[in-house]
Amino acid sequence: MRISDWLSISERQLLSSLTNLDLTDEILSIKVSIALNMWLTNDEFSKYTMMVVGKGAAKSLSKLVDGNPVVAKLFISSKERACGYDKGHLLLNYLFDNNEPSEDALQRLLLPELVKDIRSKTGLSQRNFAEHYGISKKSLEAWETGKKKISKYSFEYLKSCIFKNSIYMSQDALLKLPFSILEDGTQQYLISCSSLNYETRLTGVIWVRKAVVENPSDTIFVIPVKNNEVIRGGELVYIWQEYPPDLQECIKCAIKYGCKSILFFTKALGDISTEDGTVAEKIAKLLSIQRLPLNLNHNDFI
């Protein structure tokens, strides 16, 4: 594969303005794979050994992109798309599993944005986020400015804060919504999808698992959230954009908060089909009240 094959037109144009590297060079793609500790195919390994033996090719992503975080993120994104990974999968692996000293400076440039993104989802200021979730404000400030490198354990803890104080999200990264938030046609679509097993499901049909529970009696439709990016006609699209519009809104919400699956409850969370507003507005209404930490008021928010 070539890096250019897995970038949108606008991304290729941006990269061309930031680096002189040849995005159509297969060896560049292989170097990126090696820098990210990815497996090579036999063909890739043969090409790499034949063309770079004795040239001292760097295995450092930081050196390859000359320390530029924008170039690094786009290179990583191209690999995630090529391999069918969720957006951010390889980036997190690089940030927390690559402990080479040569990568430290680049990692410090990439991490602050992720930390700030987590806090922004709660709507809390630095002071209130630190106070209500038992974090040192000094550490939080240092993580968000890149002065201090956040550990994997601390990062996972910050992510878990998103799911606290909400009946619609669980600590195991599940988004819970009433089935009635969906249009009748979408409900029937999910019911039909749930009757297909993995071997017989059709291309473009979402995988749905139907679960019936007894205490209390309910039927739950479970949808795994996949955030795969693909390039079509030079444009960046997501797999879930093929689904019904109201289901797309639910998936976008799950992705925003880092949820791995959506559980649609037919009974337990009530019937909101008669409420006014779009699906996006209904979701926002459900989460807005429940997401407020119990001892805070609106003045504590940004």
pLDDT 10s digits, 108-167: 999 999 999 999 988 889 999 999 889 999 999 999 999 999 999 999 999 988 887 678
Confidence of residue 300 (pLDDT cuts 50, 70, 90): very low
Q: What is the mean pLDDT of residues 274-295?
A: 74
pLDDT value of residue 136: 94
Lookup result for tokens 């680096």: 19
Helix (H) or strand (E) holding 155: helix 152-161
Q: What is the pLDDT of residue 291?
A: 43
**Among 77, 98, 119, where does a domain finish?**
98
Residue 300 lies in a domain: no
> Which of 70, 98, 126 is the last residue before a domain boundary?
98
Which pTM value belongs to this model? 0.84
Euclidean distance between CA atoms 256 and 89, whole angstroms = 15
Q: Is residue 233 part of a domain?
A: yes
Comparing C-alpha atoms, which of 135, 129, 83, 88 is closest to residue 111? 88
User: Do residue 48 and residue 119 come from a single domain?
Assistant: no
Q: Are residues 176 and 279 in the same domain?
A: yes
182, 144: one domain: no
Q: Is residue 9 domain-shared with residue 30, that is, in the same domain? A: yes
Q: Residue 298: pLDDT band by 50, 70, 90 thresholds? A: very low
Write out the residue range of the structural domain in which residue 120 sits.
109-161
Among 145, 147, 37, 30, which residue's Cα sits nearest to residue 94? 37
Domain count for the chain, please give it.
3
CA 255 to chain centre: 6
Of 62, 78, 98, at which residue does a domain stop? 98
122/194 same-domain check:
no
pLDDT digit string, tens, across residues 55-88: 545 579 999 999 999 999 999 999 999 999 999 9
Instruction: Give 169's pLDDT tier (boundaries 50, 70, 90).
Output: confident
pLDDT value at position 295? Answer: 43
- Residue 192 and residue 156 share a domain: no
| pLDDT tens digit sequence for 247-271 | 999 999 999 988 999 999 998 888 8
H or E segment and range at residue 224: strand 217-224
Asked, for residue 205, whether it belongs to a domain, the answer is yes
Please state, in angstroms and rounded to a whole number, the distance separating the CA atoms of residues 230 and 301.
36
Q: Is 74 exposed, middle or buried (0-12, 13-18, 19+ CB in 10 A)?
A: buried
17 within a domain of the structure (yes/no): yes
Asked if 8 and 47 sit in the same domain, the reply is yes
- State yes or no: pLDDT of 301 exceeds 50: no
Is the domain of 60 the same as that of 31? Answer: yes
298 domain residue, yes or no? no
Q: What is the mean pLDDT of the chain?
A: 86
